[in-house]
Structure 1
């Protein structure tokens, strides 16, 4: 508990080492994405896929190292709320794309 910060409710806020590890990994992932774009080492679709994968990994890094989300019982409600948010955003985006595509198809036929 020497390097972890705890508030009045007893919630653990991580340590300096945890924050530095997350920061270094985030900087490396950002530099990797920048390097992929600058080097033109992939086709445009491969570049998009590589950047999307790096972005997904960086989201996980931020959730674990900065928001301290894990499988512990203290984080159960936070993880459930996050999962519900992801599900809602997924439904919203897919529904919007479906409606836009359907509207586009119906407008083209006239």
Structure 2
């Protein structure tokens, strides 16, 4: 008997309860972020630190509950695709910044 949360190719898909947990956590983190900004209870650097931490936690929630990134064998291809995407985007951003800086230096009037 096959697992109803697994496709024919072996990828794991979340259950309704895991999607609901992820959704509730994402909403809570969004409300907390909004509350930190609207309350003005922290200094600007504290606000940025709190928002950065909440954003990182929200990314981890999305990766786990919606993109099914985990340490299990069924998540291996998701993890490989994610690492490739992060590497590709990093190379693209670093290369673009390098080209723009180099062009700016070479176009300056002397």
Q: TM-score range by the shorter chain?
A: 0.7 to 0.9
TM-score by length of 2: 0.76
The root-mean-square deviation of aligned C-alpha atoms, in Å, is 2.7
The whole-number CA distance in structure 1 between the counterparts of 2:85 and 2:49 is 24
- 1:92 aligns to what? 92
Aligned residue in 1 for 2:27: 27
Structure with a larger share of its residues in strand: 1
Can you give the 5+ residue segments of structure 1 that lack an aligned partner in the other structure? none
- Bigger RCO of structures 1 and 2 (CA < 8 A, at least 6 apart): 2
- Please say which of residues 57-66 and 4-13 is displaced more in the overlay: 4-13
**C-alpha displacement at 1:22, in angstroms?**
0.7
For the 8 Å contact 2:11–2:75, the answer to whether it is kept is no
TM-score, normalised with respect to structure 1: 0.76
- SS of the equivalent of 2:5 reads strand
